[in-house]
Amino acid sequence: MSATSANKDDFFAQTAVPERFSEKYELMKEFVSKHRAIGNRVVLVSSGGTTVPLESRTVRFIDNFSIGTRGSASAEYPLYFLQHGYAVIFLYRLRSLEPYSRHLQRRLMDMLEVKGDSVTVKHDHTSSLKSILQQYEGVKAKDLLLSIDFTSLAEYLHLLRASAQILNAIHSKALLYLAAAVSDFYIPKHEMPEHKIQSSTDKPLQLSLQLVPKMLKPLVKEWAPDAFVVSFKLETDRNILIKKALSALDKYQHQVVIANLLDTRKYEVVLVTKETEKPILLSKEDSDKGLEIEEEIVKQLIARHKHFIES
Ligand code: 9Z3
């Protein structure tokens, strides 16, 4: 596998505008302008992994580990803090976890039981289910959540650019929370076979991937220059994590990097700014009680975003 790099214009030129793009664009535009009119802040939460197709008529693709726990959990918390007046665009990988329904996805079968002719919720799950449904209904009634899906890297980046440009209309009231696990490598359209790669040639498969241009740069400089931007840095080596986070802040000049390690990401992150490094930890005890680290991450960010807007 070898890799060379392209610039962002090449990338967008080499990748077709995704299906249903204009419909999604209009939904985001309408959502932002509605919340702008009532003075709400809007947060874009990106979530889940991107695929990198190996064929135009895609049978195979490269993927990554992310199932969107961070993004889907985080999208719920600004809504818990309704007094902070946030609406959420949830840009997520299709079939990854989603806010509210994530609580049911793996447990639904254990929550229900058959009683005579009907299906009911088991007694010990009633109150948690009721609370999730109430929160969800409140969010729906106030139209505070817009979910937009993507699958491939190209779809994600086209939608990221569009949403950032749309959000710039609300200037500093926009918060971009980029938790999606985005591929660093891709195969440009003109180098991709149209049909399924054949295995009958007896030769090992050789792939040549290009480096995806770093989109944080145009995002901060051109697409949403007034927004509060939070990126995530994922590493597996603790020794380079903070250095890489600081280097991203220096290169892209945005506000915050949340640094996390693959193995400990649910219990430990560091909120890094140019001036500060703030560890956020979730104890085993709190985790056993069902608490999540995203609540504290979002609390911290809401406070910093408030300060950013005021200054
Ligand atoms: C993250 O670091 C997220 O916290 C995770 C969440 C993807 C680890 P899960 O979905 O995991 O809850 O299982 N996201 C950003 C990862 C990323 O692609 N960052 C790039 C990098 O580190 C640049 S923005 O270079």
Chain segment 90-115, per-residue pLDDT in tens: 999 999 999 999 999 878 899 999 99
Which domain does 159 fall in, by range?
Answer: 2-100+146-226
Q: In the numeric block, which tokens belong to residue 62?
A: 């490269």
CATH code of the domain in which 189 resides: 3.40.50.10300
Taking the C-alpha atoms of residue 179 and residue 182, their distance in angstroms, rounded to an integer, is: 9
Residue 245 falls inside a structural domain: no
What separation in Å is there between the alpha carbon of 163 and the centre of ligand 1? 19
Using most ligand atoms within 8 A of CB, pick from 67, 76, 160, 233 the residue to mutate for ligand 1.
Answer: 233
pTM, two decimals, is 0.95
Quick: pLDDT tens for 241-256.
Answer: 999 999 999 999 999 9
Q: Kindly tell me if the per-residue pLDDT of 82 is higher than 80.
A: no
What separation in Å is there between the alpha carbon of 48 and the centre of ligand 1? 8
Question: What's residue 85's pLDDT?
Answer: 81
Cα dist from 20 to 14, 31, 182, 231, whole Å = 18, 17, 21, 27
Whose Cα sits closest to atom 14 in ligand 1? 179
Residue 40 falls inside a structural domain: yes
Residue 18 falls inside a structural domain: yes
Q: What are phi and psi of 235, to 5 degrees?
A: -135, 170
Average pLDDT over residues 193-220: 93
Q: Kindly tell me if the per-residue pLDDT of 296 is higher than 90.
A: yes
Report the atom number in ligand 1 closest to the C-alpha of 67. Answer: 10
What separation in Å is there between the alpha carbon of 8 and the centre of ligand 1? 21
Quick: pLDDT tens for 263-290.
Answer: 999 999 999 999 999 999 999 999 999 9
The answer to whether 101 and 73 have CB atoms below 8 angstroms apart is no
What separation in Å is there between the alpha carbon of 226 and the centre of ligand 1? 23
> What's the domain count of the chain?
1
Residue 199 falls inside a structural domain: yes
2 — pLDDT class (breaks 50, 70, 90): very low
Q: Kindly tell me if the per-residue pLDDT of 5 is higher than 90.
A: no
- What would the 3-class secondary structure string for the chain be? CEEEECCHHHHHHHCCCCCCHHHHHHHHHHHHHHHHHCCCEEEEEEECECEEECCCCCCCEECCCCCCHHHHHHHHHHHHCHHHCEEEEEEEECCCCCCCCHHHHCCHHHHEEEECCEEEECHHHHHHHHHHHHHHHHHHHCCCEEEEEECEHHHHHHHHHHHHHHHHHHHHHEEEEECCECCCEECCHHHCCCCCCCCCCCCCCCCEEEECCCCHHHHHHHHCCCCEEEEEEEECCHHHHHHHHHHHHHHHCCCEEEEEECCCCCCEEEEECCCCEEEEECCHHHHHCCCCHHHHHHHHHHHHHHHHHHC
What separation in Å is there between the alpha carbon of 238 and the centre of ligand 1? 15
Residue 105 falls inside a structural domain: no
Q: What is the percentage of the chain residues whose pLDDT exceeds 90?
A: 88
Using most ligand atoms within 8 A of CB, pick from 63, 64, 70 the residue to mutate for ligand 1.
Answer: 70
Residue 299 falls inside a structural domain: no
What separation in Å is there between the alpha carbon of 309 and the centre of ligand 1? 26
Taking the C-alpha atoms of residue 103 and residue 171, their distance in angstroms, rounded to an integer, is: 33
Quick: pLDDT tens for 140-175.
Answer: 999 999 999 999 999 999 999 999 999 999 999 999
Ligand 1 surroundings by CB, under 6 angstroms: 66-70, 178-179, 181-182, 231-234, 260, 265
Residue 132 falls inside a structural domain: no
Whose Cα sits closest to atom 23 in ligand 1? 233
Average pLDDT over residues 31-36: 98
Average pLDDT over residues 57-67: 97
- Pick the range with the lowest mean pLDDT from 5-19, 28-42, 55-69, 277-291: 5-19
Whose Cα sits closest to atom 11 in ligand 1? 66
What separation in Å is there between the alpha carbon of 30 and the centre of ligand 1? 29
What separation in Å is there between the alpha carbon of 259 and the centre of ligand 1? 9
Q: Kindly tell me if the per-residue pLDDT of 57 is higher than 70.
A: yes
